Structures are given as C-alpha cells and as structure tokens.
Amino acid sequence: MWLLFVAVLSFVVPNGLLLYWLLHDFTTLQAALQNRLALAFILDVFLTTGVLAAYFAKVPPGRYGWPWFVAFSLLGTLGFGLAFYWWLSKRPSGDATATELTTGWAFGHDFVGGNNMVEITIEGDKAVFQVQGWDRLWSLRSRLEIPLRHIDGVDADPKPAMGWFQGFRVAGANIPNIFKAGIFYQEGNLVFWDVQNPEKTIVVELADERFAKLIVEVPAPDVAVSVIKNAMAHAKA
C-alpha cells in the first residue's frame, strides 16, 4: 500500500504546485523555457523516463508493458507513473487456492472471497458485495446489499467491456483494458464496476435497483455464480 501512497502523493503535490504556478506565475511558454533550472529539470525527467521505459521493455516487472509506464508518467508525474506502474505490475492476480476459498451453507451464511477485489456473502435474503482494500477508494463504494429477489441472473464474463469508449464514467477510476472501478453509464443504465483481471469477472443482472448491473471481479467466477444461483433458488423455495 505504500506504493499507492507514494503514487497519490506524487500526483497531488507536484500537480498542485504546477496548477498554482499556472494561475499565479505563468506568463509565456518561451519565458518558462528560458529558465535554465526549469529546463534542466524537464530534460532530466524526459531522460529518466526514457531510460526507465527502455529498462522495463527489456525487463518487464509484471504483466503490463512499458507503454503503460510512459502513459502514467505523462498523465501524472514521473513519481506517480513509476509508483503506480510498479504497484499495478506487482499486484497479485487474485488466484484463489482451495484453502483461500470457502463455500457452503452454514448458519444461513455463505461466503465467496479471498485476496481479491470483491467478497460476496449471502446474508439471509440478501447478497452482500464487499469491496476490498484500496478498491474502496477507486470504486467509491465499500459495500452493496442486494435483495436476492432483485437479482435477475448472474453469469461469468471473461471479456467484459473494459476498452476505450465503452461506457461513460460517472464516478470512479478507469484505465482502459487494465482497471475499471466505480459507477458507469452504459446502454442507458447505471452499472457498478470493480474489475482488474477480466478473466475473473461475473455480471449480476439487477431489477428495481439503482444499478442495472454489477460487474465485479471474484477469485473463482464459476463458484461465485453457483453460490448466488443456489441462494436465489433457496430464496424462492
């Protein structure tokens, strides 16, 4: 988590100072480039970014390639780009082992979870979706409680719509094809997302709820789908 702290700090502080400079001290671009100290810092940042990009191209730290590091650095700052890229590359994929995954009816409480984005519990006549860790910050939600009677269906979807221009972000975070969390407007409806590893995605279709769908990542999609469907059948019995 310290990498995320560094990323946020590296994004907020330098960009805050840049914004202050633009509002109060900026005159012309030519005048700014004539400042030799500022020009030296700019050249140093671009050279460092290029060297790191070349290194990551030869020695990738994870499953994301060097272009993402460059994109993060250009969108934020070099400090933000390096910290966030490293955190994203080293983040566990969320694979669940048999000992990390627990399922079964016990005292009316069923659990599907693990070291992942969303844990799902069945509590009485409700399905509870608990957002884990820092994803609470990105998705702006920590817990969603959905009555089982409001769930129309649930299925695994290893290829959710996470690309460019696939839904309008209302609130949350979105890095196309990498990470999508928060509230999005899609096909005329509000949809809640929390997905990084698309192959572990389930889609929960809802009725009479604020969201038309919940599209979330879980450790074992087939198990999660089975548990929710069993709970729906149990609630109707």
Q: What pLDDT does residue 151 have?
A: 95
Q: What pLDDT does residue 162 have?
A: 86
Whether pTM > 0.85 for this model: the answer is no
How far is Cα 11 from Cα 199, in angstroms, rounded to an integer? 30
How far is Cα 73 from Cα 75, in angstroms, rounded to an integer? 6
70 domain-assigned:
yes
Q: Are 91 and 83 in contact (CB under 8 A)?
A: no
Whether the predicted pLDDT of 109 surpasses 60: no
Instruction: Name the nearest CA neighbour of 199 among 145, 158, 151.
Output: 158
Whether 74 and 133 map to the same domain: the answer is no
Q: What share of the chain is helix, strand, coil (3-state, %, to 5)?
A: 45, 25, 30
Q: What pLDDT does residue 91 have?
A: 67
99 domain-assigned:
no
Whether 116 and 225 map to the same domain: the answer is yes
Whether 180 and 67 map to the same domain: the answer is no
98 domain-assigned:
no
Coil/strand/helix, residue 228: helix
Whether the predicted pLDDT of 99 surpasses 90: no
In the block, which residue shows the tokens 């070349």? 54
Whether 116 and 231 map to the same domain: the answer is yes
> Which of 46, 63, 90 is the last residue in one of the domains?
90
Q: What pLDDT does residue 126 have?
A: 93
How far is Cα 119 from Cα 133, in angstroms, rounded to an integer? 11
Whether 120 and 65 map to the same domain: the answer is no
Whether 118 and 222 map to the same domain: the answer is yes
Name the more confident of 200 and 96: 200
Give the per-residue SS3 of 21-90.
Answer: HHHHCCCCHHHHHCCHHHHHHHHHHHHHHHHHHHHHHHCCCCCCCHHHHHHHHHHCCHHHHHHHHHHHHH
Whether the predicted pLDDT of 115 surpasses 50: no
24 domain-assigned:
yes
**1-36 per-position pLDDT tens digit:** 677 778 788 888 887 887 777 788 777 777 777 778
> Which of 57, 90, 123 is the last residue in one of the domains?
90
Whether 42 and 159 map to the same domain: the answer is no
Coil/strand/helix, residue 225: helix
60 domain-assigned:
yes
- The band of 234, judged by pLDDT with boundaries at 50, 70 and 90, is confident
CATH number at residue 170: 2.30.29
Whether 86 and 159 map to the same domain: the answer is no
Whether 141 and 56 map to the same domain: the answer is no
**How many C-alpha atoms does 131 have within 13 Å on its Cβ side?**
22
Full domain range(s) for residue 155: 109-236
Whether 166 and 215 map to the same domain: the answer is yes
> Which of 90, 118, 136 is the last residue in one of the domains?
90
Mean of all residue pLDDT scores within the chain: 81
What's the total number of domains in the chain? 2
Name the more confident of 101 and 79: 79
Whether 114 and 47 map to the same domain: the answer is no
Whether 169 and 133 map to the same domain: the answer is yes
**122-175 per-position pLDDT tens digit:** 998 999 999 887 777 777 888 899 999 999 999 999 999 888 878 888 888 888
Which tokens sit at 123? 């509590």
Name the more confident of 175 and 96: 175
**176-231 per-position pLDDT tens digit:** 888 888 899 998 999 999 998 889 999 999 999 999 999 999 988 999 999 999 99
